[in-house]
Amino acid sequence: MKYNVLFPGPLTQLAIESPRGLFHDVKTALTDSLSWSKCVKDLRWLRNQVVAPLTEEFVFRACMIPMLVPCIGPTAAFFISHFHHIIEQFRFGQDTFEILICAAFQFTYTSIFGAYTAFIFIRTVHLVGPVLCHSFCNRMGFPAIGSVLLHPQRPVILFSYQMGVLLFLILLFPFTDPAFYDDCSLLLTPRSACT
């Protein structure tokens, strides 16, 4: 629940636009073995829903953050590990100006998302939350707010977006309370580990 509380807007839009209903589509996708078979054979789906969330969250959250937080603090640790996207685009030979524009947007988006998943990991010291959040966000994609403004059901969808942001802000700290996770938190790690 805490990982998809930010998405009532996009989920409402999907439900409105789904010809048979969103819940029917979700039920069919979960119970249809042919659907799962197609997903597992689709390399792009495997990359976006399984490999990327597991590897990125393992490397950036589970490996790097426990080493960085005691030495430089949680705020700096949130942002340090998000420059890899720019290097990847240079390798593929994209135009420098295009790379800078895309990198600025992607850096902003991935930094905010990375800070969020780092926050979850630091507060809970569990990798499952960031991995599920990463996979779900990859599936949902960046919200298409432009299409919402032209949608016939705009008031309902915009209200859902606002409720998602409000619920996210209200529930962020209660749902990541270290008391739910055996009182573990990297914020409690002594700084003597760096000396």
Q: Over 80: is that where the pLDDT of 89 sits?
A: no
Q: Which of 17, 24, 56, 88 is catalytic?
A: 56
Q: What is the mean pLDDT of the chain?
A: 76
**Residue showing tokens 């890899």:** 84
Digit-coded pLDDT (tens) for 56-86: 888 878 888 888 878 887 777 666 655 545 5
Q: Over 50: is that where the pLDDT of 1 sits?
A: no
Question: How many Cα neighbours within 13 Å face the side chain of 133?
Answer: 26
Instruction: Tell me the three-class secondary structure of the chain, residue by residue.
Output: CCCCCCCHHHHHHHHHHCCCCHHHHHHHHHHCHHHHHHHHHCHHHHHHHHHHHHHHHHHHHHHHHHHHHHHHCHHHHHHHCCCHHHHHHHHCCCCHHHHHHHHHHHHHHHHHHHHHHHHHHHHHCCCHHHHHHHHHHHHHCCCCHHHHHCCCCHHHHHHHHHHHHHHHHHHHHHHCCHHHHCCCCHHHCCHHHHC
Average the pLDDT over 139-145 and give the result.
79
Q: Over 80: is that where the pLDDT of 149 sits?
A: yes
Identify whether 82 is a catalytic site residue.
Answer: yes
Identify whether 98 is a catalytic site residue.
Answer: no
Give me the pLDDT at residue 159, please: 92
Q: Which of 17, 24, 57, 82 is catalytic?
A: 82
Give me the pLDDT at residue 71, please: 83
pLDDT top residue among 134 and 104: 134
Rounded to two decimals, the pTM is 0.66
Q: At what angle do helices 154-175 and 8-17 cross, to 10 degrees?
A: 140
Sign of CA dihedral 182, 117, 29, 156: positive
Q: Over 70: is that where the pLDDT of 7 sits?
A: yes
Give me the pLDDT at residue 62, please: 82
Digit-coded pLDDT (tens) for 165-188: 899 889 889 888 888 877 666 655
Average the pLDDT over 1-7 and give the result.
61
Domain boundaries, the chain: 8-190
Give me the pLDDT at residue 26, please: 67
Give me the pLDDT at residue 58, please: 86
Long-range contacts at 45-50 (CB < 8 A, ≥ 24 apart): 48/135, 48/138, 48/139, 49/135, 49/138, 49/139, 50/135
Q: How far is CA 189 from the centre of its chain?
A: 25
Portion of the chain with pLDDT greater than 70, in percent: 68
